[in-house]
Amino acid sequence: METTLFTNNNSSGSGSSSNAVASQNNATQDMFTKLLVAQIKNQDPLSPTDPSQFVNQLTQQAQTEAMQNLSALTSANASVLQTMQVLALGAQVGSEVMVNSTTVQLDSSKVNGSISLAANSSSTTVTLKGADDKEYKIELGAKAAGSVAFTIDPVALGLPAGTYTMDVTTSSAEKPTVDIAGKLNSVRLSATGSMILSVANLGEINPGAITGFNGKTS
C-alpha cells in the first residue's frame, strides 16, 4: 500500500510540474509575440528593420520553447525513475542487505560484517568505540587479500547496548571500509522526495550505501 501511495504522489507531482511548465511556455510565447508585434509597429518606415532579425528572434523563441519542453521531459523521467526505484526496493523489504557504514547499532544480538582487503594482512583488527570512548577490539589475525567476514558478538565482548563507530587496522596500513548486514525493514520517501531506508543494526540510511542483497532469511 505504501508503494501505491508513493506512485500516486509522484504521478501527481509530475502532472503539476508539466502543467506549470506548459503555463510558463504559454506566458513566454505571448510575451514574445507582443514584443515582436510592438517592434514591427514601431519601426521607422523610412528605415525598416532587416527581416532577418525577426527570423533570428523567431528562431531563438523556438529554441527557448524546445529547452523548456526538454526540461519538463527530464523532470517527468526522473519522477518515473524514482517510482521504479521505490517499487524495486520495496520488494526487497524483509531481505538481508549489506550496508557500507562507519557505525553500527548493537543490542545483545550478534551482527555479521565484512571488510575487503586489497592486500594480505598479517594482523587485522576491527575496533569498536562507544559513546564513552571505550574501545573494544575484534582480532581477526592474518588474512589474505579479498573479502573477510567477521561477527560482532556483544555478549562475548561485553558491549553495552548502543551505537558504536568502527575502524579497521591492518599490517599493510590499508584502511578498508566495513559492510554490516541488516534486515531491510522499510522504504519511504522523505518530505524532499529522497528515499530513506530503515535497516536493522544501522537505522535510517541512503540507498547508495547498500553494497549487496543477501536475500530473505527464514
pLDDT digits (tens, 9 = 90+) for 97-114: 999 999 999 999 999 999
The predicted pLDDT at position 5 comes to 37
* Residue pLDDT, tens place only, 115-169: 999 999 999 999 999 999 999 999 999 999 999 999 999 999 999 999 999 999 9
The predicted pLDDT at position 51 comes to 65
The predicted pLDDT at position 3 comes to 39
Q: For residues 37 and 177, which has the higher predicted lDDT (pLDDT)? A: 177
Report in angstroms the alpha-carbon separations of 170 from 12, 142, 173: 52, 9, 5
- In this prediction the pTM is 0.63
